[in-house]
Structure 1
Amino acid sequence: MFDLSLIGIGTGNPDHVTQEARKALREAALVLIPRKGEGKDDLAYLRHRILDEAGATAQVVEFDYPVRDPSLPYLDRVNRWHDEIAGQWRAAMARAAAEARAGQPLPDNAPSVPGPVALLVWGDPSLYDSTLRIAARLDPAPRLRVIPGITALQALTAAHALPFNTLAGSVKVTTGRRLATEGWPADCDSVAVMLDADGTFRTLAEPDLDIWWGAYLGMEEQILRKGPLPDVTDDILTTREKARARHGWIMDTYLLRRRGKT
């Protein structure tokens, strides 16, 4: 068994990293950093920057993120992808252990990893993130420690100076995929949408909705848009595509609310 810390690092701003997270990074012996493909080097660079600013001295091993198979049904596709990511973690830890043993006569019962392992997780490891589900696939199971981080929803509402909920009102947090298939929920004034690659808000027939949208939240590249949904939809879609082309990637989220409820 080994120690594995899943460390929330916020939304790309090193100032989002808590003192608890910085302490855990300094205690780690090994940090795993994903490489997410061509054009997304920024994501690995930001993790390295956070390690440097935390004063971490851990061994760092990078690994390549597998690609999801688009031919599979969605849940099968994601479950197989998680299996493959867990396999990449195991392979990365094995490489680290081999490097630690190189030239050193260690006993047969020496740990399979060189010490506490850490993963830097965008946002928070327990909110709209699958890192915990991937960690559950490891064998032997690690001793898990989860360190919370600032989420995209917090960064979005703070950037817009907007309360997350209305007075005595509920908020539904959902995905673009579910919003597309289920539409606006009947019992909510507010809907926060995560993981929407298709701009599903443009398909809503619900009248009198306002939107607060943000991309690269908390980063120097942060972009914000807000207003009545019909008035700003085209601007958001155009801005989104230009930003993706410029950076090679985009992380964005938005909150929709019935007009007059804020």
Structure 2
Amino acid sequence: MRVRILGAGMGPQHLTCEVVEALRTVDYIIAADKGSGDRLLAVRQAIAVEHGLEVIPVPDPPRDRNDPADYPGAVNAWHEARVRAYEQVLRERGGTAAFLVWGDPAFYDSTIRIVEQLATRLPIEYDVLPGISAPQLLAARHRVVLHSVGQPVHLTTSRGLREAVAAGQTNLVVLLNRVIDLAGLEDWSIWWGANLATDSEELVAGRVGDVLDEVHAARDRAQQTAGWVMDIYLLRAP
């Protein structure tokens, strides 16, 4: 059996030539199904139709998203349940399967870890091809470089933002935002985007204290238009 982990950007328009070539070697696509109205599943199905492939939807196991005390433990349990579900599909179908990863597999995605676990249970060969990522899209939309000359950029999530700022980070890309709480950072600059490269894309930039209300309003619009919101922002100290 073979598994191909393919970065899919934000949809068919972002597939690289390398990924398109890889899809020609695939028998079917495995995709998590998060229930009715799953827009990410719909995007994967659109890609599959374009390339004459079947999507095997796998009901996504439930996960504790209410900020559990043991967050890593909750995520690990969720990953283990996903491994079991995908293992069943692979055992039944064999052949070459693909996972289409939203954005790029390198950034805050569990697919590589899950396939690594699958490879300990099944005779699987697997590879990974990159896709266009949300940080790349954010920088392009705002026409900025993600870091100052010769300086680093720190990638984190909203969960880790305060810890990163307290540790002295002054140039951060923040993903996976449950809420946007920037109290005390009013003089910092923000370049924010939601649902990038989709019909519900929203962009806001400026001094945090001046544009934060606009960010919240734009985030609500993206949620109402698409039925979901995935946002990211670059945050830089003055």
TM-score by shorter chain over 0.5: yes
2:224 to 245, 250, 259: 245
Could you say which residue in structure 1 is the equivalent of 2:82? 85
Indicate if the aligned counterparts of 1:172 and 1:191 stay in contact, CA closer than 8 A: yes
Task: Please report how far the alpha carbon of residue 240 of structure 1 lies from its aligned counterpart in structure 2 after TM superposition.
Answer: 1.2
The question of 1:183 aligning with 2:165 is answered: yes
Could you say which residue in structure 1 is the equivalent of 2:98? 118
Show CA shifts across 1:20-67 (max 9, x none).
101111210121122122332x211111212233x2x33421111112
The one-letter code of the counterpart of 2:13 is D
2:194 to 188, 201, 215: 215
1:65 to 60, 64, 72: 60
- The percent identity for this pair of structures is 33
Task: Pick closer, same or farther for the CA change 1:255–1:26 going to 2, 3 Å.
Answer: same
Indicate if the aligned counterparts of 1:62 and 1:92 stay in contact, CA closer than 8 A: no
The one-letter code of the counterpart of 2:222 is A
Could you say which residue in structure 1 is the equivalent of 2:116? 136
Structure 2: unaligned runs, 5 residues or longer:
none
The one-letter code of the counterpart of 1:193 is V
The one-letter code of the counterpart of 1:131 is T
Rg bigger for which structure? 1
Where 1:183 maps in the other structure, the secondary structure is helix
Could you say which residue in structure 2 is the equivalent of 1:150? 132
Q: Which of 250-259 and 86-95 deviates more?
A: 86-95
Indicate if the aligned counterparts of 1:166 and 1:189 stay in contact, CA closer than 8 A: no
Task: Please tell me the root mean square deviation across aligned C-alpha atoms, in Å.
Answer: 1.8
Q: Report how many residues are paired.
A: 234
TM-score normalized by structure 2?
0.91
Task: Pick closer, same or farther for the CA change 1:191–1:182 going to 2, 3 Å.
Answer: closer
The question of 1:27 aligning with 2:8 is answered: no
Give distance in 1, aligned partners of 2:122 and 2:88: 14
Indicate if the aligned counterparts of 2:104 and 2:131 stay in contact, CA closer than 8 A: yes
The one-letter code of the counterpart of 2:174 is V
Give distance in 1, aligned partners of 2:164 and 2:149: 25
Indicate if the aligned counterparts of 2:188 and 2:208 stay in contact, CA closer than 8 A: yes
Give distance in 2, aligned partners of 1:185 and 1:32: 40
Give distance in 1, aligned partners of 2:126 and 2:79: 17
Indicate if the aligned counterparts of 1:39 and 1:247 stay in contact, CA closer than 8 A: no
Give distance in 2, aligned partners of 1:258 and 1:153: 18
Give distance in 2, aligned partners of 1:177 and 1:189: 16
The one-letter code of the counterpart of 1:8 is G
Could you say which residue in structure 2 is the equivalent of 1:193? 174
Could you say which residue in structure 2 is the equivalent of 1:106? none
Q: Which of 66-75 and 76-85 deviates more?
A: 66-75
Task: Please report how far the alpha carbon of residue 72 of structure 1 lies from its aligned counterpart in structure 2 after TM superposition.
Answer: 5.7
Q: Which of 219-228 and 148-157 deviates more?
A: 219-228
The one-letter code of the counterpart of 2:19 is A
Q: Which of 249-258 and 149-158 deviates more?
A: 249-258
Where 1:174 maps in the other structure, the secondary structure is strand
TM-score normalized by structure 1?
0.83
